[in-house]
A and B are shown apart, each in its own frame.
Chain A
């Protein structure tokens, strides 16, 4: 099942709709890498609210997506990790080091607004 990617201003929102297989996740990575260029996006939100488990492969792929998109000039924030899912990740020793996380979509947008703020360049 493909993950729909919505464009919202400078941002892309990938809203996961159902449990994902490994290949769906890899597909999401490839699609985001491409769309960030197409839409010149500066921020990406990945909503994982519906995921019942984030295992080692999912963690590794989410981390790869975030790092890859940063190399493309976009900030990524993962939103909606459920409390039980977070607990299982901690028990497995999985971390999303170097990847932004926020409670929900609203907080994710606030996070990106802060991270992608353009500072005016003063000159002549």
Chain B
């Protein structure tokens, strides 16, 4: 169960690979169909963010456990890149805000789909997004 998968993101086709691995892992962790789709969609958006803004990066996914509420199981997805970084994270997280070609719904959308969402970014160094969803 403690499988961890890592996917290099270098082009748009890797978005599909990351999504499929995330789907498989979520199923393995016992998520229901609707949640599996939400998780896959969130992975798609953070992977796309890497392709659009950083060119390359990686997505690591693993099962996680929390001792809270008598122990719960979830999935953790970490999207890391060494791209230009985000100057204004609060602005980037605003719905409809887009620097370039997107709809500006990717990152805020991913946040809505997941239970926990954290973004750390440093200009010139890169961006790391950590997100979790717990099994209901």
Contacts and interface: CB of A to CB of B under 8 A. Distances in A.
A, B: real partners: yes
B105 A91 contact: no
Interface in B15-46: 15-16, 19-20, 23, 33-34, 36-38, 40-41, 44-45
Contact of A55 (B13, B41, B95, B112): B41
Which of A20, A84, A89 counts the most B-chain CB atoms under 10 A from its CB?
A: A84
Interface residues of B, number: 27
A53 B109 contact: no
A91 B15 CA distance: 20
Interface string A49-62: 00011011101100
A56 B109 contact: yes
B79 interface: no
A20 to B, nearest CB: 8
B59 to A, nearest CB: 14
B67 interface: no
Contacts of A60: 102-103
A91 B91 CA distance: 20
A92 B34 contact: no
B9 interface: no
Contacts, number: 74
Contacts of B108: 93
A19 interface: yes
B44 A22 contact: no
B13 A94 contact: no
A56 B40 CA distance: 13
B51 to A, nearest CB: 8
Contacts of A5: none
Nearest to A58: B44
3 closest pairs, A vs B, by CB? Answer: A92-B109, A22-B12, A84-B37
Given A60-B103, A84-B33, A92-B41, 5 more contacts: A20-B16, A52-B37, A56-B103, A84-B36, A88-B38
Interface of B: 12-13, 15-16, 19-20, 23, 33-34, 36-38, 40-41, 44-45, 48, 95, 102-103, 105-106, 108-110, 112-113
Interface of A: 19-23, 52-53, 55-57, 59-60, 83-85, 87-89, 91-94
7 contacts: A22-B15, A52-B23, A56-B45, A56-B105, A56-B109, A57-B48, A88-B38
